[in-house]
């Protein structure tokens, strides 16, 4: 079969058919574009403009193998081994959470609001290191730390920091149990901790549930703000006066999240919406 697939357009049609029923036509088309680009180096515009261009049987075989994996539910980022985040190439794989667009949006907001920053940044629950690496690239004069309780994630984060020439200091720590003194005194604290309630699992796609690490995503319905309480406790001791926190939060728990930080003594606590009008980001300051 592979030998009969001679052109980019034919490959796109077959991939779209494989993805039909699982994703919308737009999503299926985007996935096809990514897979074809990965193995031919042709971006989306070139794929459309040169749809009649022929592809070698060997390349077709690679694309279709990846397409079958994607059709079975494996995340496309795991298949190709990386994702792009704030202009950085971030390696991901099983056991490491795939960075989301809203996390990239929050990171871009942090960078835009702190131009020229040269203090200390701490990224709690760093995962792949995507936030810390992007911040380090944007603030070359800053001292940037990233921590996680997963050795698998930290191994990926270290590889990503090295490949992106980012000066990020990584260390293993569980923010639920480690004493506050374990963390550096910081001017900015950032975190995208687990916040999806287990009752919300039914809203998520099988490709997420079957492949991505649950410990990086889910919390108990009985205590959905468990990580935020630990972050508030750590920040109470390790965030400098007039320092700022940026947190990604559960859109259904915006008021509860803000209330937690107000009760913990933080000021200028605000919850803002992401590009999809979901209450996704919390920002808070420590009064000086």
- Domain ranges (residues) in the chain: 2-72, 94-285
pLDDT score of 1 more than 60: no
Answer whether residue 53 shows pLDDT above 80.
Answer: yes
DSSP letter assigned to residue 193: -
Tell me what pLDDT residue 133 has. Answer: 98
CA-to-CA separations, 52 to 4, 10, 250, in angstroms, rounded: 13, 8, 45
CATH class of the structural domain 2-72? mainly alpha
**What is the predicted pLDDT for the residue at 31?**
93
Residue 249: count of CB within 10 angstroms of its CB: 23
pLDDT interval class at 206 (50, 70, 90): confident
> Bridge-partner residues for 124, per DSSP?
147, 191
Q: What pLDDT, on a 0 to 100 scale, did the predictor assign at position 6? A: 80
Nearest to 74 by CA among 98, 43, 42: 98
94-285 under CATH 3.40.50.300, yes or no: no
CB-based contact 95:153 (threshold 8 Å): yes
What pLDDT was estimated at residue 91? 97
What pLDDT digit, counting tens, does each position of 215-253 carry? 999 999 999 999 999 999 999 999 999 999 999 999 999
Judged by DSSP in three states, 264 sits in coil
Buried-exposed string 71-103: b where 16+ CB fall within 10 A, e elsewhere: beebbbbbbbebbebbebebbbbebbbbbbebb
Residue 288: what pLDDT?
Answer: 56
pLDDT in tens, 61-116: 999 999 999 999 999 999 999 999 999 999 999 999 999 999 999 999 999 999 99
Tell me what pLDDT residue 5 has: 57
Q: How confident is the model at residue 200 (pLDDT cuts 50, 70, 90)?
A: very high
- pTM for this model (two decimals): 0.93
Q: For residue 18, give Cα distances in angstroms to 5, 54, 108.
A: 15, 20, 34
Q: How far is CA 175 from the centre of its chain?
A: 19
């Amino acid at each position: 079969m592979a030998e009969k697939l001679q052109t980019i357009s034919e490959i796109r049609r077959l991939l779209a058919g494989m993805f039909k029923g699982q994703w919308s036509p737009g999503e299926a088309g985007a996935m096809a574009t990514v897979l074809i680009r990965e193995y031919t180096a042709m971006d989306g515009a070139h794929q459309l403009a040169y749809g009649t261009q022929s592809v070698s049987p060997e390349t077709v075989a690679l694309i279709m193998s990846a397409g079958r994996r994607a059709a079975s539910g494996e995340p496309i980022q795991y298949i190709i081994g990386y994702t792009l985040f704030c202009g950085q190439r971030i390696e991901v794989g099983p056991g490491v959470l795939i960075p989301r667009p809203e996390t990239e949006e929050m990171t871009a907001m942090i960078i835009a609001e702190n131009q020229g920053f040269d203090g200390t940044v701490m990224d709690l629950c760093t995962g792949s290191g995507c936030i810390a690496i992007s911040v380090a690239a944007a603030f070359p004069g800053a001292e940037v730390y990233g921590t996680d309780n997963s050795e698998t994630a930290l191994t990926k984060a270290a590889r990503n920091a090295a490949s992106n020439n980012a000066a990020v200091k990584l260390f293993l720590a569980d923010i639920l149990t480690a004493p506050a003194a374990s963390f550096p005194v910081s001017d900015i604290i950032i975190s995208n901790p687990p916040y999806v309630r287990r009752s919300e699992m039914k809203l998520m796609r099988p490709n997420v549930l079957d492949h991505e690490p649950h410990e990086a995503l889910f919390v108990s319905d009985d205590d959905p703000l468990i990580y935020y309480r630990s972050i508030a406790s750590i920040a109470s001791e390790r965030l400098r006066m007039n320092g700022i926190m940026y947190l990604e939060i559960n859109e259904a728990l915006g008021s509860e999240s803000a209330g937690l930080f107000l009760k913990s003594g933080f000021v200028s606590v605000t919850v803002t919406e992401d590009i999809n009008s979901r209450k996704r980001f919390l920002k808070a300051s420590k009064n000086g």
